[in-house]
Chains A and B, each alone.
Chain A
Amino acid sequence: MPDPAAAPRTSASAGLGHDSGVSPSAVPRRAAEEWARPAPRRKHLSDSRKQKPTMAPDLETATPRLLLRKIFQTQPEVSPVVPKITEPWEPRESGSETHSERLSNTSMKIQLPDLVSEDTAIITFHTSRNKRKLSISEFERAVDKRSSQNLAKSMSDDKSSTRSLQASFSTPVPPNTIEKRGLLRRPKNRKTVNVDSFEGGVEQNLLQIKDAENYLVDSQAVSMIGTTVMMNDTKIALNNTELFVQPQLSEKSQGRLSALEPQLLARNVLERGSRAFNTAEPESQKEHLASNVDPEEEMVPEDHEDSALDHADRSGPASVGKAGSPPRDHQDYAQQSSYAEQVSGLVSGITELQSNMEYSEKLGEKLRKQTTSHINEKRQARTPVTPVEEEVMIEDAENQNSGKDVVEFPENAGARRLSRQSSAAFTRYSEPTRKKSIEPVEQTVDMDDGAVVEDTSELEEHKTEEEELSEDGAKSEELSMEMPAFVHAMADQVSLSLSTPRSLKMAVPKLSPKPPPAKQAPKKNRTEQRRKREPALPSSLVKKIFRHYVKMPVARDVFKVVEKCSEQYFKQLSNDLEAYTKHAGRKTVERADLELLMRRQGLVTDEMPLNVLIERHLPLEYRKLLIPVATSGNKVIPSK
């Protein structure tokens, strides 16, 4: 039935406002359907329809009339429903349209009256069977009206009005529902977090961490322990953070510590550590967590014990490891034991710091490094020893990068004199050993004797890597001067703020990726470290800015120096800003402080005010925020 003739008809109907994307093959089918749907409804027309087709036999073979007739014969008749007035209108109208447009007037006229009569007799739709002759123009007008009315409702593509009407007639539901289904969203199954279970899980993790101290650092452990360890004042910091440590542990650990005291006091740390601390480790570490409010002085002897214990713990594996390589370690072990006393001074300070450390191995590693550094410096039998030591250290370092960093940072941050000096020495030693450069170690050690290090990172950057720069000496002096302020700042931090541990935590992990052994650290640690790395300016930004200012081709290795320079710059900047703000009796850096800084730097002069600099170098959006602009109506932007 469908034929090309139907296609133009459907396209003609589309002229009313529908049907743009219908394939020609589909059109005839649809046309046939469209004809079929309204057709069954028009029961009353069936007679006329059957009569009508015969009236114009001279038309094309597949005339709508013929199609309709065939449909009538084949398809069951559907009782006409009268849902709305408009709906019955449209299919008929659209069908009549197509008829009218394509078929000869005679045929259209013949059929039109049927349709039109129905249209006009809306109210008596199902009753009226009268044929009335209406003009085509009138019919078309009515059709246009109906089609425009139905456009909004129709969802079909071509012959949208007819389709929708037909759908509404016969199957009112499907098209709408289909579309709505597309809009329906999947029910969101959100599991609300059970706080209790979460906390329980966290506690379990902590316990697991304590158990697995010697091994990989758990991410949570690092975060938890980092917070605990990173506290400036080791003990106090630990106190605040141990939310999940069981009090029983402290008792146990204390008991054990007391038992171990005499041994520890003997300061034969290395040897004892291997024996006693493998057992005492967990307790000692837990004790560290558990020790809450002990004042520093009280903790000091405990610290010594603990630190010694930790030392022993950490050095235990180290010593064990060392013992494992007897040919190499003969000297080392003997040296270590002999150096136990030599190191004791350092150890006492270090133990204080190390009491914070959670990971024994890392301490042991550091201790080994210390001893190795000692050995390197004092023995001068460096070459045979250091490579061996370094190898051993590397092995441990690989496993304990994050812990190492954690350890190192609190050491640096420690505000105690012992720890300060020892940490300074320690960090100095650890840094060079980490860097595997012996000569810089010596230099840094010589340079920084007595100088206190604020940051291991600082040391790393400036001592070992920027030795060339003569500013190392100046820096150390500056650092030593700034240390008291820094120390005070640290000492003031009795209450742990999240920022402090986070910043410390971030600072410490930064150290870890630096040493080469870090390459072999587990990926988890590396990503964690990267996540917790202190905020550093994106190197791409620094590169871009520098390149823009320099306007010349730049060698690639220059950027590293520029980055380090900018880091040092930020340190200086923060120190200066703090000094100015404190001088003004404030705690917040204000615009005046920055202006004073720039004036002292020589950037702002009497000839060059700050606003001019702002306008020159900053983009417009920032300028608007920084410089108040007065606009009409007494408005000031930004409003204060």
Chain B
Amino acid sequence: MKRAAPRSTLRGLIKKHKPRLRLATNMEFLVHLNFLLFLHRLAEEARINAFESKSKIIKLEHVISAAKITLKKSRG
């Protein structure tokens, strides 16, 4: 049960970082898609880390190391 993509929030977020940048119509969904895939990758990495440390719960250190890798990957 996914929630709707927060279109205005996404627009505001981009505007906050890049005020002069404009977004075409319906581009928020692609941004949302990108964000979903980013979280997806982050979750996968975290899951792998937790599995490697033989823990059944995702812990902070798993996520942190996963975040480093994922952010580097998503730099484009």
Residue of A nearest to B72 (CB): A471
Q: B18 contacts which chain A residues (CB < 8 A)?
A: 489, 574-575, 577-578
Q: Beta-carbon contacts of A497-519 to B below 8 Å, as 1s and 0s?
A: 10110010011000000000000
> A379 within 8 Å of B by Cβ?
no
- Chain B residue with the shortest CB-CB distance to A538: B6
Query: B34 and A597: CB pair below 8 A?
Result: yes
Please choose the segment from A71-79, A119-127, A274-282, A540-548 that sits at the chain B interface, where 4 or more of its residues have CB less than 8 A away.
Answer: A540-548
Contact status A589-B29, CB under 8 Å = no
* A21 CB–B CB distance under 8 Å: no
Alpha-carbon separation in the docked complex, A122 to B5 (Å): 71
In the complex, are the beta carbons of B24 and A566 less than 8 A apart? no
Q: Are B67 and A565 in contact (CB under 8 A)?
A: yes
Give A206 Cβ to nearest chain B Cβ, in Å.
25
**How many angstroms between the C-alpha atoms of A570 and B10 in the bound complex?**
9
5 more A-B contacts (CB under 8 A) besides A471-B68, A555-B60, A610-B30? A469-B64, A544-B2, A572-B71, A574-B14, A598-B34
CB A494 to nearest CB in B, in angstroms, measures: 12
* B35–A591 CB distance below 8 A: no
Bitwise interface map of B from 37 to 59 toward A, beta carbon under 8 Å scored 1, else 0: 11110111011001000001111
Task: Verify if A293 is at the interface (C-beta below 8 Å from B).
Answer: no
Beyond A503-B15, A555-B60, is A566–B21 a contact (Cβ under 8 Å)?
no
19 pairs from A and B in contact (CB 8 Å cutoff): A493-B19, A503-B15, A507-B16, A534-B16, A544-B2, A546-B39, A546-B42, A550-B58, A551-B47, A552-B57, A553-B58, A566-B35, A568-B71, A601-B37, A601-B75, A610-B30, A613-B33, A626-B26, A626-B29
List residues of B whose CB falls within 8 A of some A CB: 2-6, 8-24, 26-27, 29-40, 42-44, 46-47, 50, 56-60, 62-64, 67-68, 70-76
The segment out of A97-105, A437-445, A617-625 that lies at the interface is A617-625
CA distance A581 to B14 in the complex (A): 13
> How far, in Å, is B9 (CB) from chain A's closest CB?
5
Contact B72 A549 (CB under 8 A): no
A585 at the interface (CB under 8 A from B): no
Given A546-B43, A587-B20, A619-B2: A603 touches B37 (CB 8 Å cut-off): yes
Q: How many residues of A contact B (CB 8 A)?
A: 72
Nearest-CB distance from B44 to chain A (Å)? 7
Q: Is the CB of A602 within 8 A of B64?
A: no
- A589 touches which one: B13, B23, B40, B50 (CB < 8 A)? B23
- Complex CA–CA separation, A602 to B34 (angstroms): 11
Residues on the B chain within 8 Å of A554, using CB: 57-58
Please encode chain A, from 520 to 558, with 1 for each CB lying within 8 Å of some chain B CB and 0 for all others. Answer: 000000000000001111100110111011111111011
**Closest chain A residue to B74, Cβ basis:** A601
A562 touches B20 (CB 8 A): no
Q: Is the Cβ of A489 less than 8 Å from the Cβ of B20?
A: yes
Cα-based distance from A565 to B71 in the complex (angstroms):
8
Question: Do A602 and B73 form a contact, CB below 8 Å, given A546-B39, A589-B21, A597-B34?
Answer: yes
**A interface: dominant SS:** helix
Are B24 and A573 in contact, CB atoms less than 8 angstroms apart?
no
User: How long is the Cα–Cα vector from A601 to B74 in the complex, in angstroms?
Assistant: 5
Task: Specify which of B2, B5, B19, B43 lies most central, judged by the most chain A CB atoms within 10 Å of its CB.
Answer: B19
Contact between chains at A570 and B20 (CB < 8 Å): no
Residues from chain B with a CB closer than 8 A to the CB of A493 are 19-20
Known: A535-B13, A537-B6. A550 touches B33 (CB 8 A): no
The answer to whether B29 touches A618, judged by C-beta atoms less than 8 angstroms apart, is yes
Asked whether, in the complex, the Cβ of A591 is within 8 Å of the Cβ of B32, the reply is: no
CB distance from B24 to the nearest CB of A (A): 5
Q: Given contacts A546-B42, A553-B56, A570-B17, is CB(A469)–CB(B36) below 8 Å?
A: no
- Given known pairs A503-B15, A541-B6, A553-B58, the reply for A625 and B68 (CB within 8 Å) is no
Residue interface mask A468-493, B partner, CB < 8 A = 1: 11110010000000000000010011
**What is the minimal beta-carbon distance from A500 to any residue of chain B, in angstroms?**
5
Residues of B within 8 A of A469 (CB): 64, 67-68
CA separation between A551 and B22, bound complex, in Å? 35
Assuming the contacts A549-B43, A569-B35, A588-B24, asked whether A576 and B75 have C-beta atoms less than 8 A apart, the reply is: yes
Closest chain B residue, CB of each to CB of A545: B39
On whether the beta carbons of B59 and A617 are closer than 8 Å, the reply is no
Which of B3, B70, B76 is A541 in contact with, Cβ under 8 Å?
A: B3
Q: How far is the CA of A548 from the CA of B42 in the complex (A)?
A: 12
The chain B residue sitting closest to A500, CB to CB, is: B19
A600 touches B (CB below 8 Å): yes
- CB pair A587 B21 closer than 8 Å: yes
